[in-house]
Amino acid sequence: AQSVTQLGSHVSVSEGALVLLRCNYSSSVPPYLFWYVQYPNQGLQLLLKYTTGATLVKGINGFEAEFKKSETSFHLTKPSAHMSDAAEYFCAVSDSSNYKLTFGKGTLLTVNP
Amino acid sequence: DAGVIQSPRHEVTEMGQEVTLRCKPISGHNSLFWYRQTMMRGLELLIYFNNNVPIDDSGMPEDRFSAKMPNASFSTLKIQPSEPRDSAVYFCASGRDSNPTDTQYFGPGTRLTVL
């Protein structure tokens, strides 16, 4: 069975600081990994995804994530936080044998001026 | 593109009443998902349709929950009778096909409160 663990339910950074949101997964087969963002009172929106190939994936709004198989991780980073990045971020996993997306519990990012 | 449309956006009802949530997926998408989001359990997949056919309803919590997709442009999630523990945000999402690498496009959600 797949699972996703997001370390830290709440992360707070200053504007301009590095954003690092952690995600570890468990999957018995090669995973497909996703990061979604949810702004207040909105649905989830895809930030980026890893399926195959290059392990460093770039997404929208300056975010990127690196798939590290040895660490079973897919951490999300952004070099410089902006106020508009304040939202909840969800890591999710699926695989070739399972169309279902299994989501983590989410990490709420706040950006302080 | 209008995106996934859900209605109503907010629903407040009393315990025992029937609740119907509606979803219009993105035109041309063949997969449709219903999710429930709560603080305690996070995002849970309730049911998945492909080409209007229910493929997996193992996430539907009880017989009180039912979902239909009569055509490619409309789906409903019904709760009858509703209970306070059904209070949650319900999301509909659609995807182009059933490929597990597909992006799912989420609607804005329906916030359900059962008193």
User: Beta strands B10-13 and B65-71: pairing type?
Assistant: unpaired
Give yes or no for residue A59 having a pLDDT over 80. yes
How much is the pLDDT for B12?
A: 98
Q: Residue A100: beta bridge partners?
A: none
Query: What phi, psi does A104 have (nearest 5°)?
Result: -75, 175
Per-residue pLDDT reduced to its tens digit, A79-104: 999 999 999 999 999 887 777 889 99
> Cβ–Cβ of A43/B45 closer than 8 Å?
no
CA-based nearest distance A33→chain B, Å: 9
> Cβ–Cβ of A100/B101 closer than 8 Å?
no
Q: Are residues B78 and B64 in contact, defined by beta-carbon separation less than 8 angstroms? A: no
> Cβ–Cβ of B108/A32 closer than 8 Å?
no
How much is the pLDDT for B1?
A: 64
Give yes or no for residue A65 having a pLDDT over 90. yes
How much is the pLDDT for A27?
A: 84
Q: Are residues B109 and B6 in contact, defined by beta-carbon separation less than 8 angstroms? A: yes
> Cβ–Cβ of A105/B42 closer than 8 Å?
yes
- Which of chain B's residues have a Cβ under 8 Å away from the Cβ of A98? 100
Residues of chain B with pLDDT under 50: none
Query: What phi, psi does B21 have (nearest 5°)?
Result: -105, 140
Per-residue pLDDT reduced to its tens digit, A16-50: 999 999 999 998 888 999 999 999 888 999 999 99
Q: Give CA–CA dist A66/A15, Å, rounded.
A: 23
How much is the pLDDT for B43?
A: 92
Output b/e per residue, A52-64; b: 16+ Cβ within 10 A. eeeeebebeeebb
Among residues B99, B79, B100, the alpha carbon closest in space to that of B36 is found at B79
Residues 6+ apart with CB under 8 A from A54: none
CA-based nearest distance A53→chain B, Å: 13
Among residues B26, B65, B27, B72, the alpha carbon closest in space to that of B49 is found at B72
Query: What phi, psi does A84 have (nearest 5°)?
Result: -70, -5
Give yes or no for residue A56 having a pLDDT over 70. yes
Helix (H, G, I), strand (E, B) or coil at B105: strand
How many CB pairs (< 8 A) connect A and B? 49
Q: Note if the bond before B8 is cis, omega within 30 degrees.
A: yes
CA-based nearest distance A64→chain B, Å: 17
Q: Are residues B74 and B52 in contact, defined by beta-carbon separation less than 8 angstroms? A: no
How many angstroms separate the Cα of A100 from the Cα of each of A1, A21, A86, B20? 11, 23, 27, 24
Helix (H, G, I), strand (E, B) or coil at B60: coil
Q: Give CA–CA dist B76/B22, Å, rounded.
A: 5
- Give the nearest chain B residue to A44 (CA atoms): B106
Length of chain B as a residue count = 115
The separation between CA B67 and the C-alpha centre of its own chain, rounded to angstroms, equals 8
